[in-house]
Amino acid sequence: MTPDLLLLFADRIGVFVFAISGGIVAVRKQMDMFGVIVLAFLPAIGGGTLRDL
């Protein structure tokens, strides 16, 4: 396994985990489907961007 492939997997897993955590928060707050999607999307993209910086 090359280092590039390992970094790609780590990046994908990180985005997935951030999206799941945002979705769980939205479900606990009893938001509708749009709220769940937004709160899953924002931490995933924000966390990935912050990690890349």
pLDDT digits (tens, 9 = 90+) for 4-29: 999 889 888 888 888 888 889 889 99
pTM, full prediction: 0.70
The total number of structural domains that make up the chain = 1
Q: Which domain holds residue 28?
A: 18-53
The amino acid sitting at 44 is A
**DSSP readout, 10-50?**
HHHHHHHHHHHHHHHHHHHTT--HHHHHHHHHHHHHHHHHH
6 found inside a domain: no
In a domain, 33, yes or no: yes
The answer to whether residue 27 is domain-embedded is yes
Q: Is residue 12 part of a domain?
A: no
Q: How confident is the model at residue 48 (pLDDT cuts 50, 70, 90)?
A: low
In a domain, 32, yes or no: yes
